[in-house]
Amino acid sequence: MSGGLDSTVILAIALAKKRECLLISFDYGQRHKIELESAKAIAKYYNVPHKIITIDPAAFGGSSLFGSSLLEKESCCEVPKNRSIDEIKASSTPNTYVPARNTIFLSFALAQAEIFGAVEIYIGPNALDIKYPDCSQAFVDAFQGVIHVATKQAVDGKAPKLVAPLINLNKAEIVALGRSLNAPLDLSFSCYDPTESNQPCLKCDACTLREDGFKASI
């Protein structure tokens, strides 16, 4: 539960399926830590238990989503700004990619799933995330392979299913789906590089894609 548009819609989907949910967010030193406030607000809105797991900043590096002090290998980079939708779609893996981030997030989710006996784990890659290796269907399938063998829960025949309900949807479709489920999209926050007063920059890829999604879904 990043607090963004996609995880908000996924929560609405799971609740519409009458799932009993546990939300997991990560405080991993991200520039846009303000997103966690949105995650809390959405958890409160739906009255769903919410766990925020802190990840040691020593674990990451090499991404524009961190301050430069965390970078170990290279002096990396500003968050890309003012790119058009076509430029975003045509680019290679952006520098907002964080090494192994979703693998780490899913590993923590797997532990929680075993502790609480969960039957499903939800994750939110969408059709526009294809430049991120750990948002691909191949990644989801490979991690499902780990889930099938990694835990006592799996050995006992109760491995949870990894569900990625948005993986083939674009932002307009996600917004439309969220609206149809009455999801509190106004509480979500998507910006990678908020202003000092924690407002969306309206220039980064996340802001551009979000805005385009809302416009296109009208």
By CB under 8 A, name the binding residues for a second copy. Answer: 51-56, 58-62, 72-73, 93, 97, 99-104, 106-108, 110-112, 114-117, 133-134, 136, 138-139, 142-143, 145-146, 148-155
Give yes or no for a contact between 198 and 13, defined as CB atoms under 8 angstroms apart.
no
Instruction: Give 141 or 195: the residue with its C-beta nearer to a second copy.
Output: 141
* Nearest distance in Å: CB 215, a second copy: 31
Does an H or E element contain 26, and which?
strand 23-27
Instruction: Give 112 or 217: the residue with its C-beta nearer to a second copy.
Output: 112
* Nearest distance in Å: CB 201, a second copy: 24
Which of 86, 62, 78, 98 shows the shortest CA–CA distance to 201?
78
Instruction: Give 142 or 167: the residue with its C-beta nearer to a second copy.
Output: 142
* Nearest distance in Å: CB 147, a second copy: 8
Q: Which two tokens stand for residue 181?
A: 């489920």
Does an H or E element contain 120, and which?
strand 120-122
Instruction: Give 90 or 100: the residue with its C-beta nearer to a second copy.
Output: 100
Q: Which two tokens stand for residue 195?
A: 């202003």
* Nearest distance in Å: CB 185, a second copy: 28
Q: How many Å apart are CA 37 and CA 25, to the nearest integer? A: 10
Instruction: Give 133 or 184: the residue with its C-beta nearer to a second copy.
Output: 133
Which of 102, 97, 91 shows the shortest CA–CA distance to 77?
97
What burial class does residue 74 get, using C-beta atoms within 10 Å of its C-beta: 0-12 exposed, 13-18 middle, 19+ buried? exposed
What are the distances in angstroms from CA 199 to CA 2, 34, 37, 88, 122? 16, 9, 12, 22, 28
| Largest distance between two CA atoms of the chain | 50
- Which phi and psi angles does 208 have, rounded to 5°? -60, -45
* Nearest distance in Å: CB 166, a second copy: 19
Instruction: Give 22 or 216: the residue with its C-beta nearer to a second copy.
Output: 22
